Amino acid sequence: MFGAAALLALPFPAAAVAIVIAQIKAAANWRTLDRDETVAGLPLPAGSRICFGDKAHSSVVSIDLPHAINIGGMRLVGKLTRYDKWGDIREVWSGTLAEDQRVDGLPCRGGAGGPDKDSFVFDKDGIVQRCALAAAYEFFGLKLPPGTTMMERGNDNKPWTLMLPPDAGAYIAALATTAPPGVTLSVAFGGRLEGISSGHGQTIIVRGVPLNSKNFRLHDEQVVSELAGPFLVAGEMRPAGTEVRIDLPSGNVSVSGQS
């Protein structure tokens, strides 16, 4: 902002010279391949334009592809952006699939789109870390609808984060109910649901109790959440926002923190 203000304060010829100098300096960080070459571990075709983070060209920031290319079984197009770290994963690439295709066993959606600019992310080993599903997909017995986004890939130490599309829910057998559209499911590696979250606070019905999905947690076979509306609990009408606990095997409902 201050740099732009300084340029505006300069006489027109001086401002023009400053802009040209800035463009020359920025151009020093770019390189266009004149032949096929492997850069940052990626096999790239001639014509690829690479943006580096320094003039020494020691760190790749992004790559503009000249056309659709195949990298590790993925057909990619457009721009690739490199991140040194993404969550707890080191060195990942964000890009765009040229078309719908199965990658790493997942039916991934092609083209731009998704909850943010990084709708398709893969790591240096070619393992998908984020993608939107192009088709229905069964995940540990959970039937995910098309448009579901795998926001984060899980492992033995962290759950998978799966965001349902805005127009479709998913049946949760453990709760004997359907999670509403647009919520995010936190699913442990073995398929155990750990929680549901949503900034919109949709209502999810569990054992006949209307709960707010904004902060929905599971501890073993206990559901802890807030009432989405007034509801009779332990013989007393409780207002919306009351935190309650549901014992799934028995269906008993109690105010959280009370026996």
Query: Going by C-beta distance under 8 Å and a sequence separation of 6 or more, which residues neighbour residue 81?
Result: 61, 62, 93, 94, 95, 118
- pTM of the predicted model as reported, rounded to 2 decimal places: 0.82
Rounded Cα distance between 82 and 62, Å, is 6
Looking at residue 28, its pLDDT comes to 86
**What are residue 74's DSSP bridge partners?**
71
Res 121: pLDDT: 94
For 2-23, what is the mean pLDDT?
51
- Of 211 and 198, which is predicted with more confidence? 211
What are the C-alpha distances in Å from 72 to residues 105, 143, 150, 209, 242? 13, 28, 20, 48, 51
Find the mean pLDDT for residues 139-154. 92
Q: Which residues pair with 86 in a beta bridge?
A: 89
The model's confidence at residue 200, banded by pLDDT at 50, 70 and 90, is confident
Mean pLDDT of 58-65: 94
Mean per-residue pLDDT over the chain, rounded:
87
